[in-house]
Each structure stands twice: as C-alpha cells, then as structure tokens.
Amino acid sequence: MKTKGHACVILGSLSGIAREIAFRLAIKGIPLVLVGRSAEELEIQASDLKIKFGVPVEALVADARDLDMLASLPAECAKMLNGISIGTVILCWGVMYSQKDSEKDPQLLRQNFDINLTSAALVLQAFANWMSSNKKGGTIVGISSVAGDRGRGTNYLYGATKAGLSALLDGMRHRYHGTGLRVITVKPGIVNTPMARGFVNSSSLLCASPAQVAADIVRSIESGSFSIYTPRYWKIIMAMIRTIPERIFLRLKL
C-alpha cells in the first residue's frame, strides 16, 4: 500500500462498510485510529482487531453532530498515534433517515445535512489542511452514494447530502492535485448494512455486501483511482439514469 508505515483514520468505524474496511487494513498491518460515538463499542472493535491481526489500534470518541469539535480531530488523532503519521483518512459516517419522516420533521431533515455533508466538509477540510501542511502526502477517501448522481423523488434529502459530498470530494481532488494529497470519491449503490436494513431486499441482485464494497475501496486506495462506483456496474446504471430526459424521468416512480 502506498501509505506503508502510516496509519489510517476511519471516521465512523462502527458503520457496516467501515467494519469491513478496518479488517482489510488491519490484515495488511496498517495501524488504525477508529473514530465513532460509542466508547464501549470502539473498545470492542479495537480489541477484536488487535487480537486477530496484532496491529496498533486506537479508539477516539467523537460525534459528527458536534460540528465545533471537528476541526481539532486531526490533532487528536495524531496525538493518539504518538509519532506515526496519518497516511489515509476514510470518511464512513452517515445517516439515511426516512424521507417521509424527514419531510415532516425539520430537526430530522437538518440532521441528514449536518451529519452527511456539513460535518464531512468540516472534518475533511481539517484533515486536508493537516496532511498538506505535513507535506508527507496521503489519501482522503469519502463514501458518498449513487443517490447523489440525480435527485429523485423517493430519497432526495439523502440524495442532496450525497450530491454535495460528491462535489466536495471531486473539488478537493482538483484543489490538491499535484501536492501529494489524493482524494477519492466512492459511490456505493445499494449495500446490505444496518443503515439499509429494511429499506432494501438484501437478496436482490443489485444489493452488494459490505465486504465487496470495502474490498473495492481498499483497492481504489492502492491503485490511485479518482472516483469509483462500487460495485462497478453502477457506473453504467447511473450513466443511464443521468441521461433520461427530465420529461420522462418525472413520470417514473423512483
């Protein structure tokens, strides 16, 4: 892996996809900082990885809704790592509150944006500042979604947060191009995780496992991709969806 000898910070390590990413990185011997909301669960996740793979794993409690704290996150992670530099940051936290409920409840609606977009912008910019000032290079990965590619009636609030996140990541990639800091936009389709539970039929053909998605993400870091759909067939599906003329799209129940 390009960032050998450096650690990886996983923001939202308890999420369905993040757990699988953490395994794959730990197997490669990469030291980790797990960031999440529950101290108890983070400790358990850290113990599990340390016992199975013998890598250094630190746990840091943080809440994405605590917007004012996010700017100091890179310094806190660095302190825990005690000399090992931060080579990779992977943003995995996110929520998908019910569209119907969010339409009726302004607080809930706002949380979608605070957690998925605003916190992402604050924390990723903080890490970008930190990593570029260290001049060691590195990779920032953000997990967006195919839902951001085109606004659709049944899920546009979540979709809007992801559309924003995709643009943020793409723009960061452009901004830091050539400085040694890479930014990867990851757009998963439908994934069988706790977030999606009940929302999707996990045995349907279009539903991917978190393990598959995590494998694609780790591969993208190693191979220097810019922007990926995972699984890959979503690239074709979304290309088609994006080109449907609006007049026709409006008549579809999506």
Contacts to other proteins by CB under 8 A: 14, 16, 19, 38, 40-41, 44-45, 47-48, 51-52, 194, 197-198, 202
- Select 198 or 245, whichever has its Cβ closest to other proteins: 198
The CB density around residue 206, as the number of other CB atoms within 10 Å, is 12
**Minimal distance in Å, beta carbon 11 to other proteins?**
17
* 47 vs 154 by CB, closer to other proteins: 47
Question: Which two tokens mark 128?
Answer: 């970008």
Cβ density class 101-110: b for 16+ within 10 Å, e for less: ebeeeeeebe
Closest separation between CB of residue 142 and other proteins, Å?
22
Is 195:143 a contact under the CB 8 Å cutoff? no
CB of 52 to other proteins, least distance (A): 6
CA-based end-to-end distance of the chain = 39
Nearer to other proteins, 16 or 87 (CB): 16
Q: Closer CB to other proteins, residue 100 or residue 251? A: 100
- Least distance in angstroms from the C-beta of 194 to other proteins: 5
| Cβ distance to other proteins smaller for residue 79 or 197 | 197
Smallest distance, Å, CB 188 to other proteins?
A: 18
Long-range Cβ contact pairs of 123-126 (< 8 A, separation 24 or more): 123/11, 123/64, 123/70, 123/71, 123/73, 123/91, 124/89, 124/91, 124/168, 124/169, 124/172, 125/172, 126/70, 126/71, 126/72, 126/73, 126/74
CA 191-54-26 angle, 5° bins = 25
Residue 20 or 216: which CB sits closer to other proteins?
20
To other proteins, the closest distance from the beta carbon of 48 in angstroms equals: 4
In the bound state with other proteins, the residue whose beta carbon lies nearer, of 40 and 68, is 40
- For residue 19, the minimal CB distance to other proteins (Å) is 8
Show the tokens assigned to 106: 């302004």
